[in-house]
Amino acid sequence: MFTGIVTDIGTIIELEQQGDLRARIKTGYDTAGIDIGASIASDGVCLTVIALGDDWYDVQISAETVSKTNLDGWQVGKRVNLERALKVGDELGGHIVSGHVDGVAEVIAVADEGDSTRVTLRAPRDLARFIAPKGSVALNGTSLTVNDVDGCDFGINFIPHTKENTTWGDVKVGDRVNLEIDTLARYVARLSEMT
């Protein structure tokens, strides 16, 4: 489990196809405190650490995960949002995030509004019904509040702090973004289907 509060920006430093995709991610985390088998959300995808170095960790990514996320677009040099798994007693600053991406949204508009940036995204049709104004979504692993919804399109405002401490400062039209809908929204929808 994660909170959607990004705590490091990593960089992809190696990619290798070995049956599954293997990625090496440079990090500012103290890797001496990371165990082999630990879960780290990388751009919102819960990935298992399989090897460690002084300032990097390796993950192995299945074809299934690549097909359901934007990881097929990873390249050496790409910056990614990172979050270590939630521990008992940690502050829950965002919302409950599983790291199980539901689909990929596309950035369709970016506009500055004062010091903030308004980003409009288009969700896959089957996921759009779970997105509500003032509800939560995780985008590339970042817990965010939805401002407005219009069909499959929804808007998010990024304050300067978020732009500086995540990869959202680099956002541009056409970006494909990992989308995880709020778990509560999923269960409410499922319950309403059963009644």
Give Cα 53 to chain centroid, integer Å: 24
Q: Are residues 116 and 147 in the same domain?
A: yes
Q: Are residues 107 and 166 in the same domain?
A: yes
Q: Which of 27, 56, 84 is the last residue of a domain?
A: 84
Q: Which of 50, 84, 118 is the last residue of a domain?
A: 84
Q: Domain range for residue 67?
A: 8-84
The model's pLDDT over 81-109, given as tens digits with 9 standing for 90+, comes to 999 997 766 666 777 888 999 999 999 99
Please choose, from the candidates 75, 74, 7, the residue with its C-alpha nearest in 3D space to the C-alpha of residue 40: 7
Domains contained in the chain, number: 2
Q: Which of 24, 54, 84 is the last residue of a domain?
A: 84
The model's pLDDT over 125-183, given as tens digits with 9 standing for 90+, comes to 999 999 999 999 999 999 999 999 999 999 999 999 999 999 999 999 999 999 999 87
Q: Tell me the two tokens of residue 43.
A: 């751009």
Q: Tell me the two tokens of residue 99.
A: 């790291």
Looking at residue 128, its amino acid is: A
Looking at residue 168, its amino acid is: W
50 within domain boundaries: yes
